[in-house]
Protein backbone atom coordinates (compact mmCIF):
# COMPACT_ATOMS: atom_id res chain seq x y z
CA UNK A 1 0.00 0.00 0.00
CA UNK A 2 1.09 3.55 -0.64
CA UNK A 3 -0.16 7.13 -0.63
CA UNK A 4 0.96 10.43 -2.16
CA UNK A 5 2.56 12.78 0.35
CA UNK A 6 3.50 16.46 -0.01
CA UNK A 7 7.24 16.94 0.55
CA UNK A 8 6.62 20.36 2.13
CA UNK A 9 3.51 20.25 4.32
CA UNK A 10 3.10 16.48 4.72
CA UNK A 11 -0.52 16.42 3.54
CA UNK A 12 -1.36 13.00 2.17
CA UNK A 13 -3.59 11.96 -0.71
CA UNK A 14 -5.07 8.63 -1.81
CA UNK A 15 -3.04 6.62 -4.35
CA UNK A 16 -5.63 6.80 -7.10
CA UNK A 17 -5.96 10.58 -7.11
CA UNK A 18 -4.45 12.19 -10.24
CA UNK A 19 -2.29 14.98 -8.85
CA UNK A 20 0.98 16.59 -9.84
CA UNK A 21 1.31 18.88 -6.82
CA UNK A 22 -0.09 19.38 -3.33
CA UNK A 23 -3.54 20.92 -3.44
CA UNK A 24 -2.89 22.62 -0.11
CA UNK A 25 0.51 24.28 -0.67
CA UNK A 26 1.49 23.59 -4.29
CA UNK A 27 4.70 21.69 -3.53
CA UNK A 28 5.84 18.36 -4.99
CA UNK A 29 4.36 15.00 -4.11
CA UNK A 30 6.16 11.74 -3.40
CA UNK A 31 4.97 8.15 -3.21
CA UNK A 32 5.14 6.81 0.35
CA UNK A 33 4.83 3.07 1.05
CA UNK A 34 3.95 1.31 4.28
CA UNK A 35 7.40 -0.21 4.34
CA UNK A 36 6.77 -2.04 7.64
CA UNK A 37 4.07 -4.09 5.99
CA UNK A 38 5.96 -4.82 2.75
CA UNK A 39 7.62 -8.17 2.64
CA UNK A 40 10.78 -7.85 0.59
CA UNK A 41 12.30 -11.25 0.06
CA UNK A 42 15.92 -10.57 -0.86
CA UNK A 43 16.46 -14.07 -2.18
CA UNK A 44 13.51 -13.57 -4.53
CA UNK A 45 15.01 -10.29 -5.76
CA UNK A 46 18.30 -11.99 -6.53
CA UNK A 47 16.57 -14.72 -8.54
CA UNK A 48 14.85 -12.23 -10.83
CA UNK A 49 16.67 -10.66 -13.80
CA UNK A 50 18.38 -7.34 -13.10
CA UNK A 51 15.72 -4.85 -14.23
CA UNK A 52 13.29 -2.21 -12.99
CA UNK A 53 10.77 -4.96 -12.19
CA UNK A 54 13.14 -6.95 -9.97
CA UNK A 55 12.08 -4.46 -7.28
CA UNK A 56 8.33 -4.53 -7.92
CA UNK A 57 7.34 -4.82 -4.24
CA UNK A 58 8.40 -1.19 -3.80
CA UNK A 59 6.89 0.11 -7.03
CA UNK A 60 3.29 1.37 -7.29
CA UNK A 61 2.14 -0.73 -10.24
CA UNK A 62 -0.35 -3.53 -9.61
CA UNK A 63 -1.35 -4.31 -13.23
CA UNK A 64 0.79 -6.15 -15.79
CA UNK A 65 3.36 -3.42 -16.56
CA UNK A 66 3.87 -1.80 -19.95
CA UNK A 67 7.44 -2.98 -20.40
CA UNK A 68 10.13 -2.99 -23.09
CA UNK A 69 12.63 -4.72 -20.76
CA UNK A 70 14.14 -1.58 -19.28
CA UNK A 71 16.93 -1.48 -16.73
CA UNK A 72 19.54 -4.18 -16.27
CA UNK A 73 22.12 -1.76 -17.67
CA UNK A 74 25.86 -2.44 -17.39
CA UNK A 75 28.03 -1.09 -14.60
CA UNK A 76 31.52 -0.54 -16.02
CA UNK A 77 34.75 -0.04 -14.11
CA UNK A 78 36.43 3.06 -15.62
CA UNK A 79 39.93 1.74 -15.10
CA UNK A 80 41.85 4.10 -17.38
CA UNK A 81 39.96 7.31 -16.67
CA UNK A 82 39.82 6.50 -12.95
CA UNK A 83 43.59 5.99 -12.83
CA UNK A 84 44.18 9.21 -14.76
CA UNK A 85 42.05 11.42 -12.57
CA UNK A 86 43.14 9.75 -9.35
CA UNK A 87 40.06 7.80 -8.29
CA UNK A 88 40.76 4.16 -9.13
CA UNK A 89 37.38 2.90 -7.85
CA UNK A 90 35.35 4.78 -10.47
CA UNK A 91 32.33 3.16 -12.13
CA UNK A 92 29.81 4.18 -14.78
CA UNK A 93 26.24 2.91 -14.87
CA UNK A 94 25.48 3.10 -18.59
CA UNK A 95 21.84 4.12 -18.84
CA UNK A 96 22.26 4.63 -22.57
CA UNK A 97 21.76 0.87 -22.78
CA UNK A 98 18.03 1.12 -22.05
CA UNK A 99 15.44 0.36 -24.79
CA UNK A 100 15.27 3.93 -26.15
CA UNK A 101 18.78 4.84 -25.04
CA UNK A 102 18.28 6.77 -21.80
CA UNK A 103 17.25 6.27 -18.16
CA UNK A 104 13.90 7.89 -18.97
CA UNK A 105 12.69 4.38 -19.88
CA UNK A 106 12.81 3.37 -16.21
CA UNK A 107 10.43 6.20 -15.43
CA UNK A 108 8.18 5.59 -18.40
CA UNK A 109 7.63 1.88 -17.83
CA UNK A 110 6.21 2.81 -14.43
CA UNK A 111 4.59 6.09 -15.55
CA UNK A 112 2.75 4.70 -18.58
CA UNK A 113 1.71 1.63 -16.59
CA UNK A 114 0.26 3.98 -13.97
CA UNK A 115 -1.57 5.95 -16.68
CA UNK A 116 -3.39 2.70 -17.59
CA UNK A 117 -3.87 1.68 -13.95
CA UNK A 118 -5.49 5.08 -13.28
CA UNK A 119 -7.73 4.75 -16.33
CA UNK A 120 -6.11 7.39 -18.53
CA UNK A 121 -6.15 6.90 -22.29
CA UNK A 122 -3.63 9.50 -23.48
CA UNK A 123 -0.30 10.82 -22.24
CA UNK A 124 1.81 13.95 -22.69
CA UNK A 125 5.10 15.56 -21.76
CA UNK A 126 7.43 18.47 -22.43
CA UNK A 127 10.94 17.35 -23.16
CA UNK A 128 14.51 18.31 -23.96
CA UNK A 129 14.37 15.14 -26.06
CA UNK A 130 14.82 11.88 -24.18
CA UNK A 131 11.57 12.05 -22.24
CA UNK A 132 9.69 12.44 -25.54
CA UNK A 133 11.57 9.55 -27.20
CA UNK A 134 10.80 7.30 -24.26
CA UNK A 135 7.18 8.37 -23.83
CA UNK A 136 6.55 7.87 -27.55
CA UNK A 137 7.86 4.30 -27.38
CA UNK A 138 5.99 3.32 -24.20
CA UNK A 139 2.74 4.89 -25.45
CA UNK A 140 3.17 2.85 -28.63
CA UNK A 141 3.65 -0.30 -26.54
CA UNK A 142 0.55 0.57 -24.50
CA UNK A 143 -1.45 1.40 -27.63
CA UNK A 144 -2.40 4.93 -26.52
CA UNK A 145 -1.67 8.34 -28.12
CA UNK A 146 1.12 10.62 -26.87
CA UNK A 147 1.59 14.38 -27.27
CA UNK A 148 5.08 15.83 -26.83
CA UNK A 149 6.20 19.47 -26.71
CA UNK A 150 9.81 20.29 -27.57
CA UNK A 151 11.75 23.56 -27.42
CA UNK A 152 12.16 24.43 -31.12
CA UNK A 153 15.68 23.96 -32.51
CA UNK A 154 17.14 22.74 -29.20
CA UNK A 155 16.57 19.00 -29.32
CA UNK A 156 19.24 16.53 -30.45
CA UNK A 157 18.48 14.87 -33.78
CA UNK A 158 18.32 11.25 -32.61
CA UNK A 159 15.71 12.07 -29.98
CA UNK A 160 13.36 13.87 -32.39
CA UNK A 161 13.78 10.96 -34.81
CA UNK A 162 12.64 8.53 -32.11
CA UNK A 163 9.62 10.56 -31.01
CA UNK A 164 8.48 10.90 -34.63
CA UNK A 165 9.06 7.27 -35.61
CA UNK A 166 7.27 5.90 -32.53
CA UNK A 167 4.25 7.92 -33.60
CA UNK A 168 3.89 10.66 -31.01
CA UNK A 169 2.21 13.93 -31.92
CA UNK A 170 5.35 16.13 -31.86
CA UNK A 171 5.08 19.91 -31.51
CA UNK A 172 7.97 22.39 -31.45
CA UNK A 173 7.40 25.37 -29.18
CA UNK A 174 9.02 28.73 -29.92
CA UNK A 175 10.32 28.97 -26.38
CA UNK A 176 12.58 27.03 -24.01
CA UNK A 177 11.91 23.81 -22.09
CA UNK A 178 10.62 25.61 -19.02
CA UNK A 179 7.91 27.28 -21.13
CA UNK A 180 7.01 24.00 -22.87
CA UNK A 181 6.52 22.34 -19.47
CA UNK A 182 4.24 25.10 -18.27
CA UNK A 183 2.11 24.70 -21.40
CA UNK A 184 1.85 20.92 -21.30
CA UNK A 185 0.95 21.04 -17.60
CA UNK A 186 -1.97 23.34 -18.40
CA UNK A 187 -3.01 21.14 -21.32
CA UNK A 188 -3.06 18.05 -19.10
CA UNK A 189 -5.05 19.72 -16.33
CA UNK A 190 -7.64 21.11 -18.74
CA UNK A 191 -7.92 18.16 -21.16
CA UNK A 192 -7.32 15.08 -19.06
CA UNK A 193 -4.11 13.85 -20.68
CA UNK A 194 -1.83 12.11 -18.19
CA UNK A 195 1.31 14.22 -17.54
CA UNK A 196 4.56 12.28 -17.57
CA UNK A 197 7.18 14.87 -16.75
CA UNK A 198 9.20 14.38 -13.60
CA UNK A 199 6.61 16.31 -11.55
CA UNK A 200 4.77 13.01 -11.88
CA UNK A 201 5.68 11.18 -8.67
CA UNK A 202 5.24 7.72 -10.22
CA UNK A 203 7.82 8.29 -12.94
CA UNK A 204 10.49 8.89 -10.33
CA UNK A 205 9.61 5.56 -8.70
CA UNK A 206 10.92 3.77 -11.78
CA UNK A 207 14.07 5.84 -11.88
CA UNK A 208 15.02 5.03 -8.29
CA UNK A 209 15.92 1.51 -9.46
CA UNK A 210 19.18 2.87 -10.97
CA UNK A 211 20.50 3.02 -7.42
CA UNK A 212 19.13 -0.42 -6.51
CA UNK A 213 20.82 -2.01 -9.50
CA UNK A 214 24.10 -0.22 -8.82
CA UNK A 215 24.11 -1.68 -5.28
CA UNK A 216 23.32 -5.16 -6.54
CA UNK A 217 26.03 -4.96 -9.20
CA UNK A 218 28.73 -3.45 -7.00
CA UNK A 219 27.90 -5.78 -4.13
CA UNK A 220 28.37 -2.96 -1.64
CA UNK A 221 27.26 0.61 -0.97
CA UNK A 222 29.31 3.13 -3.01
CA UNK A 223 30.65 6.17 -1.15
CA UNK A 224 29.30 8.55 -3.76
CA UNK A 225 26.70 8.61 -6.55
CA UNK A 226 27.23 11.27 -9.20
CA UNK A 227 24.48 12.33 -11.59
CA UNK A 228 24.03 15.02 -14.22
CA UNK A 229 21.26 17.36 -13.10
CA UNK A 230 18.65 18.98 -15.35
CA UNK A 231 15.19 18.97 -13.76
CA UNK A 232 16.80 17.19 -10.79
CA UNK A 233 14.29 14.36 -10.84
CA UNK A 234 16.80 11.58 -11.26
CA UNK A 235 19.09 12.50 -8.37
CA UNK A 236 15.99 12.91 -6.17
CA UNK A 237 14.66 9.54 -7.28
CA UNK A 238 17.88 7.64 -6.59
CA UNK A 239 18.13 9.24 -3.15
CA UNK A 240 14.52 8.36 -2.33
CA UNK A 241 15.13 4.75 -3.29
CA UNK A 242 18.13 4.59 -0.96
CA UNK A 243 16.08 5.96 1.96
CA UNK A 244 13.60 3.13 1.39
CA UNK A 245 16.34 0.51 1.42
CA UNK A 246 17.64 2.05 4.67
CA UNK A 247 14.18 1.72 6.24
CA UNK A 248 13.98 -1.86 5.01
CA UNK A 249 17.35 -2.57 6.62
CA UNK A 250 19.02 -3.30 3.27
CA UNK A 251 21.65 -0.52 3.59
CA UNK A 252 23.49 0.98 6.52
CA UNK A 253 24.41 4.34 4.95
CA UNK A 254 23.48 6.42 1.92
CA UNK A 255 26.10 7.48 -0.64
CA UNK A 256 26.99 11.16 -0.89
CA UNK A 257 24.60 12.36 -3.57
CA UNK A 258 26.49 14.59 -5.98
CA UNK A 259 24.88 16.61 -8.76
CA UNK A 260 26.68 18.01 -11.80
CA UNK A 261 25.36 20.79 -14.03
CA UNK A 262 26.70 22.66 -17.03
CA UNK A 263 28.19 26.04 -16.13
CA UNK A 264 25.71 27.83 -18.41
CA UNK A 265 22.78 26.17 -16.67
CA UNK A 266 23.56 25.67 -13.00
CA UNK A 267 20.89 26.93 -10.59
CA UNK A 268 21.21 23.89 -8.30
CA UNK A 269 24.97 24.33 -8.01
CA UNK A 270 24.54 27.98 -7.07
CA UNK A 271 21.96 27.12 -4.43
CA UNK A 272 24.28 24.52 -2.88
CA UNK A 273 27.37 26.75 -2.97
CA UNK A 274 25.53 29.75 -1.54
CA UNK A 275 23.44 27.79 0.96
CA UNK A 276 20.15 29.08 -0.47
CA UNK A 277 16.88 27.53 0.74
CA UNK A 278 15.69 27.23 -2.87
CA UNK A 279 17.07 27.67 -6.38
CA UNK A 280 16.98 30.95 -8.26
CA UNK A 281 16.07 30.03 -11.86
CA UNK A 282 18.33 30.80 -14.83
CA UNK A 283 16.28 32.76 -17.36
CA UNK A 284 18.45 31.75 -20.33
CA UNK A 285 20.15 28.44 -19.70
CA UNK A 286 22.72 27.52 -22.34
CA UNK A 287 24.89 24.44 -22.86
CA UNK A 288 25.88 21.95 -25.53
CA UNK A 289 24.44 19.28 -23.21
CA UNK A 290 20.82 19.89 -24.25
CA UNK A 291 19.43 17.22 -21.88
CA UNK A 292 20.44 19.40 -18.91
CA UNK A 293 19.70 22.77 -20.49
CA UNK A 294 17.10 23.63 -17.85
CA UNK A 295 16.85 26.93 -16.00
CA UNK A 296 14.08 26.17 -13.53
CA UNK A 297 14.58 22.60 -12.26
CA UNK A 298 11.19 21.22 -11.29
CA UNK A 299 12.50 18.85 -8.60
CA UNK A 300 15.03 21.25 -7.10
CA UNK A 301 13.54 21.12 -3.59
CA UNK A 302 13.88 17.34 -3.49
CA UNK A 303 17.41 17.45 -4.92
CA UNK A 304 18.71 20.09 -2.51
CA UNK A 305 17.50 17.94 0.39
CA UNK A 306 19.09 14.81 -1.11
CA UNK A 307 22.46 16.51 -1.54
CA UNK A 308 22.45 18.20 1.86
CA UNK A 309 21.23 15.24 3.89
CA UNK A 310 23.90 12.92 2.49
CA UNK A 311 26.86 15.30 2.78
CA UNK A 312 27.08 15.38 -1.00
CA UNK A 313 27.75 18.37 -3.18
CA UNK A 314 27.02 19.99 -6.52
CA UNK A 315 29.49 21.32 -9.05
CA UNK A 316 29.41 22.71 -12.56
CA UNK A 317 31.56 21.87 -15.56
CA UNK A 318 32.11 23.81 -18.78
CA UNK A 319 30.96 22.63 -22.18
CA UNK A 320 34.65 22.09 -23.00
CA UNK A 321 35.08 19.75 -20.02
CA UNK A 322 31.89 17.90 -20.96
CA UNK A 323 32.93 17.30 -24.57
CA UNK A 324 36.44 16.34 -23.61
CA UNK A 325 35.11 13.71 -21.16
CA UNK A 326 32.65 12.48 -23.80
CA UNK A 327 35.68 11.79 -26.03
CA UNK A 328 37.67 10.18 -23.20
CA UNK A 329 34.80 7.84 -22.34
CA UNK A 330 34.50 6.88 -26.00
CA UNK A 331 38.21 6.48 -26.74
CA UNK A 332 39.67 5.25 -23.45
CA UNK A 333 36.81 3.12 -22.17
CA UNK A 334 34.74 2.26 -25.25
CA UNK A 335 31.65 3.87 -23.74
CA UNK A 336 29.54 6.03 -26.03
CA UNK A 337 27.37 8.63 -24.30
CA UNK A 338 25.66 11.90 -25.14
CA UNK A 339 27.15 15.14 -23.76
CA UNK A 340 24.90 15.50 -20.66
CA UNK A 341 25.95 12.03 -19.55
CA UNK A 342 29.64 12.87 -19.69
CA UNK A 343 28.97 15.74 -17.27
CA UNK A 344 28.85 13.31 -14.33
CA UNK A 345 32.34 11.94 -14.99
CA UNK A 346 33.69 15.40 -15.90
CA UNK A 347 32.31 16.53 -12.54
CA UNK A 348 34.26 13.83 -10.70
CA UNK A 349 37.45 14.97 -12.43
CA UNK A 350 36.75 18.58 -11.48
CA UNK A 351 35.94 17.71 -7.84
CA UNK A 352 39.04 15.50 -7.58
CA UNK A 353 41.21 18.34 -8.99
CA UNK A 354 39.70 20.65 -6.36
CA UNK A 355 40.55 18.14 -3.63
CA UNK A 356 36.88 17.63 -2.79
CA UNK A 357 36.97 13.86 -3.46
CA UNK A 358 39.29 11.34 -1.78
CA UNK A 359 41.36 8.95 -3.83
CA UNK A 360 39.93 5.81 -2.23
CA UNK A 361 36.24 6.70 -2.63
CA UNK A 362 34.09 4.17 -4.48
CA UNK A 363 32.17 6.29 -6.96
CA UNK A 364 29.31 5.40 -9.27
CA UNK A 365 28.63 7.92 -12.06
CA UNK A 366 25.33 7.64 -13.85
CA UNK A 367 25.91 8.16 -17.57
CA UNK A 368 22.43 8.91 -18.69
CA UNK A 369 22.04 8.63 -22.46
CA UNK A 370 23.54 7.00 -25.55
CA UNK A 371 26.09 8.52 -27.95
CA UNK A 372 23.74 8.15 -30.94
CA UNK A 373 21.19 10.47 -29.37
CA UNK A 374 23.15 13.50 -30.52
CA UNK A 375 25.13 12.60 -33.67
CA UNK A 376 25.45 16.23 -34.76
CA UNK A 377 27.49 17.22 -31.70
CA UNK A 378 29.69 14.17 -32.24
CA UNK A 379 30.33 14.92 -35.91
CA UNK A 380 31.24 18.53 -35.11
CA UNK A 381 34.03 17.30 -32.82
CA UNK A 382 35.54 14.71 -35.12
CA UNK A 383 37.49 14.91 -38.38
CA UNK A 384 35.28 13.67 -41.21
CA UNK A 385 36.45 10.43 -42.85
CA UNK A 386 39.06 11.01 -45.57
CA UNK A 387 37.73 10.09 -49.00
CA UNK A 388 40.27 8.32 -51.22
CA UNK A 389 40.50 6.49 -54.55
CA UNK A 390 39.62 2.82 -54.44
CA UNK A 391 43.13 1.39 -54.79
CA UNK A 392 45.73 0.07 -52.36
CA UNK A 393 48.43 2.72 -53.01
CA UNK A 394 45.94 5.48 -52.18
CA UNK A 395 44.97 3.62 -49.00
CA UNK A 396 48.59 3.16 -47.92
CA UNK A 397 49.50 6.76 -48.60
CA UNK A 398 46.44 7.97 -46.72
CA UNK A 399 47.37 5.82 -43.71
CA UNK A 400 50.92 7.23 -43.76
CA UNK A 401 49.68 10.79 -43.64
CA UNK A 402 48.21 11.97 -40.34
C1 LIG B 1 16.71 13.77 -18.55
C2 LIG B 1 18.19 13.67 -18.68
C3 LIG B 1 19.08 14.21 -17.73
C4 LIG B 1 18.61 15.04 -16.57
O5 LIG B 1 17.87 14.33 -15.63
P6 LIG B 1 16.94 15.12 -14.57
O7 LIG B 1 16.16 14.09 -13.90
O8 LIG B 1 16.12 16.07 -15.39
O9 LIG B 1 17.87 15.87 -13.67
C10 LIG B 1 20.42 14.00 -17.89
N11 LIG B 1 20.91 13.33 -18.96
C12 LIG B 1 20.10 12.81 -19.89
C13 LIG B 1 20.70 12.08 -21.04
C14 LIG B 1 18.73 12.96 -19.79
O15 LIG B 1 17.94 12.46 -20.74
ZN1 LIG C 1 1.62 20.60 0.72
Closest ligand (CA of 204) = 1
Note whether residue 243 is domain-resident: yes
Residue 3 shares a structural domain with residue 93: no
- Predicted pLDDT at 154: 86
Q: Are strands 169-173 and 194-195 parallel, antiparallel or unpaired?
A: unpaired
66 found inside a domain: no
> How many separate domains does the chain show?
2
Are 5 and 79 found together in one domain?
Answer: no
Q: Is residue 164 part of a domain?
A: no
Q: Whose CA is nearest to atom 5 of ligand 1?
A: 230
Q: Are 1 and 97 within one domain? A: no
User: Does residue 208 line the site of ligand 1, with CB under 6 A?
Assistant: no
Q: Verify whether ligand 1 is closer than 6 Å to residue 98 (CB atom).
A: no
Question: Distance between CA 8 and CA 135 in Å, rounded?
Answer: 29
| Cβ of 306 below 6 Å from ligand 1 | no
Position 82 in a domain: yes
Q: Do 276 and 363 have their domain in common?
A: yes
Same structural domain, 261 and 316? yes
Residue 277 lies in a domain: yes
Which residue has the least CA distance to atom 1 on ligand 1?
A: 291
Paired with 365 in beta bridges are 92, 226
Q: Is 228 in the pocket of ligand 1 (CB under 6 A)?
A: yes
Structural domain span for residue 210? 75-101+203-381
**Domain membership flag for residue 137:** no
7 and 96 inside one domain? no
- Does residue 369 have its Cβ closer than 6 Å to ligand 1? yes
Q: Looking at the domain assignment, is residue 279 inside a domain?
A: yes
- The whole-angstrom separation of Cα 352 and Cα 189 is 45
Please report the atom of ligand 1 found closest to the CA of residue 294. 8
The predicted pLDDT at position 402 comes to 66
User: Which ligand number lies closest to the CA of residue 366?
Assistant: 1
pLDDT at position 134 is 98
State if residue 73 touches ligand 1 by the CB under 6 angstroms criterion. Answer: no
Q: What is the pLDDT along the chain (402 residues), one digit of tens a residue?
A: 899 999 999 999 999 999 999 999 999 999 999 999 988 887 889 999 999 999 999 999 999 999 999 999 999 999 999 999 999 999 999 999 999 999 999 999 999 999 999 999 999 999 999 999 999 999 999 999 999 999 998 899 999 999 999 999 999 999 988 899 999 999 999 999 999 998 999 999 999 999 999 999 999 999 999 999 999 999 999 999 999 999 998 899 999 999 999 999 999 999 999 999 999 999 999 999 999 999 999 999 999 999 999 999 999 999 999 999 999 999 999 999 999 999 999 999 999 999 999 999 999 999 999 999 999 999 999 999 999 999 999 999 999 986
- CB 316 less than 6 A from any atom of ligand 1: no
| Cβ of 201 less than 6 Å from ligand 1 | no
The answer to whether position 310 is within a domain reads yes
Q: CATH number, domain at 336?
A: 3.40.50.1100
Q: Which of 234, 322, 371 best tests ligand 1's pocket when mutated (most atoms within 8 Å of CB)?
A: 234
Amino acid sequence: MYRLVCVECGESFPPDEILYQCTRCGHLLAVEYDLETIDVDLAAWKRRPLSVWRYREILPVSIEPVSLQEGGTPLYHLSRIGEEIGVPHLYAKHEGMNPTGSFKDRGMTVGVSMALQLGRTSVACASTGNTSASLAAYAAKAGIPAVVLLPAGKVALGKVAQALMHGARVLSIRGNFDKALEMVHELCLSHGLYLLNSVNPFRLEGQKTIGFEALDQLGEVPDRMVLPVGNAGNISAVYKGFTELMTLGRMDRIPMMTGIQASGSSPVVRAIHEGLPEVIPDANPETVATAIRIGAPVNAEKALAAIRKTGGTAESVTDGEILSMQRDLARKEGIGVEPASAASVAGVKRLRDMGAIDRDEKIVCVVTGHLLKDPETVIRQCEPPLEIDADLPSLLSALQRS
